[in-house]
Amino acid sequence: MTSPADLQQLLRGVALRVTRPRIAVLGAVHAHPHADTESIISAVREELPEASHQAVYDSLRVLTNAGLVRRIQPAGSVARYESRVGDNHHHVVCRSCGTVSDVDCAVGDAPCLTASDDHGFSIDEAEVVYWGFCPACSTAGSRP
């Protein structure tokens, strides 16, 4: 759990204005990792019932640009957000229920960052998504 004062510090640390919606959004992302926008809107409204969905979308974009939250969007999913930033971690996604879990990098510190042939691209990030079935869906026979 991150206190409002800590969240405020985070915002000031990146030169962003401190507003109630931003505090609430940042808190919600900390409290609910990998939540989609709608879940974040619900969480925000528990403490700030009047918050508009637009304010949440705006806040998420601002916070993402500032590097305070990270946006992830597995194929076929809506956008999800997490507060764990700055490290080189990846995700495993359940094909059945969409659950996302964090995965530390498999092969050392900066793995996969060296593409075999980069086609002249200047690459700054390697994103890894593992696809499979979560424990619950595996045992529930949800696998095709």
Partner DNA sequence: TCGTTTTCTTGACTGGTTCAGGAAAAGAGC
Partner DNA sequence: GCTCTTTTCCTGAACCAGTCAAGAAAACGA
| CB 77 within 8 Å of CB 38 | no
Sheet holding 35-36, edge to edge: 35-36, 80-82, 70-72
Nearer to DNA by Cβ, of 75 and 107: the residue is: 75
Which tokens go with 81? 């957000």
Distance CA 61, CA 70 (A): 10
Of residues 48-77, which lie at the interface with a copy of itself (CB under 8 A)? 71-73, 75-76
Query: Of the two residues 77 and 139, which places its CB atom closer to DNA in the complex?
Result: 77
> Which does residue 131 bind out of DNA, a copy of itself, none, counting CB within 5 to 8 angstroms by kind?
a copy of itself
Task: Find the binder of DNA among 10, 29, 35, 55 (CB under 7 A).
Answer: 55
The count of residues interacting with DNA (CB under 7 A) is: 24
Q: Does 87 help bind a copy of itself (rule: CB under 8 A)? A: no
Q: How many residues bind a copy of itself (CB under 8 A)?
A: 42
Given a contact cutoff of 8 angstroms between Cβ atoms, the answer to whether 91 and 102 are in contact is yes
Pick between residue 19 and residue 138 the one whose CB is nearest to DNA: 19
- Please, what sign has the CA dihedral across residues 115, 127, 67, 104? negative
The pattern of x and - marking residues 19 through 48 that bind DNA according to CB under 7 A reads xxxx-------------xxx----------
CB 129 within 8 A of CB 74: yes
Which structure tokens are listed for 117?
A: 């042939």
Residues contributing to the site for DNA (CB under 7 A): 16-22, 36-38, 50-55, 57-59, 61-62, 73, 78-79
